[in-house]
Structure 1
Amino acid sequence: MSWKYRANATLEGLTGYTITRAGRKRAVKAPQPAPETRRLPGDEVRGPVDPVHDRLLREPVFLLASVRSGSTLLRVMLNTHSRIHSPIETHFRRMTVAFTTDPVRQAMRLLGHTHADVEHLVWDRMLHRELSRSGKPILVEKTPSNVFVWKRLRTCWPDARFVFLLRHPASIVQSWHEADPVKRPMAEAVPRTLAYMTYLQEARTHLEGHTLRYEDLVADPEGELRRLCAFLGVEWEPGMLRYGDKDHGAFEKGVGDWRDKIKAGTVVAGRPLPSNDELPPELEEICRLWDYC
């Protein structure tokens, strides 16, 4: 069974039940499907008809990563740069619009606008406003659930750029559990995080971009940030290593990492890599694909 088939089957299985340590059955909530899977028949998801006028945001950068991969650390270091604005997780893909009456649906159809077209306009306007308020020219958005809609991002912004952040899959699993051990039992950790990793790998397969690893970032932050800055077309700035000197918005659960480590204001060493003997069988193939084993 291929890694992709196995991971998709895992994602589908998340809507069932798992047994908690207390012996009770507990429903497991799966990551929400991509917006395009909830559309009405005939509601085409397409790119901008006139990119010059339909999009205010130019060359947005999307940092694609699994949950618990160190994306908040990378975000705040990037946000420290004088030309880069990387806000808290905006979850913009959850923003939608409603055509609530027959007349508005008729009007949009006659004007040639699909539901997705109007939704894209809202997304673009919101992110452009966020960037404009910062006074900086480059936006880096890093909501982890964006991995589930990488196709939609590419369609909405044909000039988008992509950065892929990897971390050892077993470390992702352990970090997800440790972030809230009571509400995030280990029994759920592998299927929940593997879903993110699966779509991240799919995005890396189909999109061009820059890849870096969390382990390399914390071991050699200057070197990794220099390479990333070169990809983004900006000069390296030493202050990026002292992200605690700047205000980066709230460190709250739901919009990024919220634990003490991120609040240190500087890079903290990562945990030792797990051995292959500690690797859950479900993670073996994604580990091979990411060259961790």
Structure 2
Amino acid sequence: MNWQRKVNKALVRFTGFQIERVGKAPPAPPAPEIRPPADPLTDRLLDAPVFLLSPVRSGSTLLRSILNAHSSLHAPHELHVRRLRVHFDTNLAAKAMAALGHNQADLEHLLWDRVLHRELVRSGKQYIVDKTPANAFAYERIAACWPDARFVFLLRHPASIATSWHEAAPDKRTPEEATLDALRYMKAVQRARKALPGLTVRYEELSAEPERVTREICAFLGLEWEPDMLAYGSQPVLEKGLGDWRDKIRSGAVQPARELPREDQIPEALKPISRTWGYLS
């Protein structure tokens, strides 16, 4: 109504605040189709990237460091490339890309591939390894983006994961909160294990028998095992959110794992996943 517009204009002049129209929000646009590259030979620069899928606090920085010591593997800090987004500022931009055969997800995949490929080229090595734990929540997109991707699943006793997750930030999470938060990652990794082919390794075995386990990983990746992998050296990235920042990883060598918890030390919420992973009968 005219009188409402006049009142709103007067209020804006008087208060300096814009009056927002109250009503139903416009519907969100449909999610773009997630699909493999139209032509993997030309649409992807990376060759057979390796993704280390694991829960938080499961020894993934240790395994990353070991793999990075191989002459053919570049395993940088956590990269979080799946959080890189493409946005169309106008409908014309979206239409122009659609005319080229690209939707938003296609363009994001091109971006992810380009970022990882640039990092790999800078390293001078043959294959890249991405070990970001949150990738477990996006395993379907990763598998669609890189049809030739290879997956290594790293497990650890669920109760040990939860304890370590609490110890990493005791002022932010209670033990109960840490347990439930870590369980989200465990369930995501288990979903990925059921859906994707790959190699499963355990942190406890990696700590106890690093040569045997790393030989298995190298065989899976089609690489020769290198003894220098077990003395991976100092780590340049020790910042929370990019990898393990605590003292054990600073040693530059594989350290023994903590003692496995007894059954009565396993929280009830973790017992089902502990059974699924073979840590509890």
Q: How far does the alpha carbon of each residue in 1:217-251 deviate from its partner, in whole angstroms, 9 at most, with x for none?
A: 0001011101111111111111111111xx64311
Contact 1:60 1:138 in 2 (8 A): yes
Contact 1:194 1:283 in 2 (8 A): yes
Give the letter for the 2:126 counterpart: P
Q: How far does the alpha carbon of each residue in 1:101-131 deviate from its partner, in whole angstroms, 9 at most, with x for none?
A: 1221121122221000000000000000111
Shift of 1:166: 0.2
Shift of 1:42: 5.4
Matched, 1:274 2:261: yes
Query: Take 2:279 and 2:197, find their aligned partners in 1: how far apart are those partners?
Result: 21
Query: Take 1:49 and 1:198, find their aligned partners in 2: how far apart are those partners?
Result: 31
Contact 1:87 1:248 in 2 (8 A): no
Matched, 1:250 2:237: yes
Query: Take 1:134 and 1:99, find their aligned partners in 2: how far apart are those partners?
Result: 32
Shift of 1:170: 0.1
Alignment correspondent of 1:176? 165
Contact 2:235 2:252 in 1 (8 A): no
Query: Matched residue of 1:140: which SS?
Result: strand
**Which is greater in Rg?**
2
Query: Matched residue of 1:243: which SS?
Result: coil
Root-mean-square deviation (CA, aligned residues, Å) is 1.1
Alignment correspondent of 1:17? none
Query: Take 2:89 and 2:64, find their aligned partners in 1: how far apart are those partners?
Result: 37
Shift of 1:44: 1.0
Alignment correspondent of 1:44? 33
Query: Take 1:291 and 1:108, find their aligned partners in 2: how far apart are those partners?
Result: 48
Query: Matched residue of 2:153: which SS?
Result: strand
Give the letter for the 1:157 counterpart: W
- TM-score, normalization: structure 2? 0.88
Sequence identity percentage: 57
Unaligned runs of 5+ in 2: 1-27
1:261 pairs with one of 239, 248, 254: 248
Give the letter for the 1:279 counterpart: I
- TM-score, normalization: structure 1? 0.84
Give the letter for the 1:47 counterpart: P
Query: Matched residue of 2:163: which SS?
Result: helix
Contact 2:56 2:133 in 1 (8 A): yes
Query: Take 1:197 and 1:46, find their aligned partners in 2: how far apart are those partners?
Result: 26
Alignment correspondent of 2:276? 289
Alignment correspondent of 1:161? 150
Q: How does 1:86-105 map to 2 (within 5 A)?
A: 86-105=75-94
Query: Matched residue of 2:242: which SS?
Result: coil
Q: How does 1:1-293 map to 2 (within 5 A)?
A: 40-41=29-30, 43-244=32-233, 248-293=235-280
Unaligned runs of 5+ in 1: 1-38
Query: Take 1:149 and 1:98, find their aligned partners in 2: how far apart are those partners?
Result: 19
Give the letter for the 1:227 counterpart: E
Give the letter for the 2:269 counterpart: E
Aligned length: 253
Give the letter for the 1:288 counterpart: R
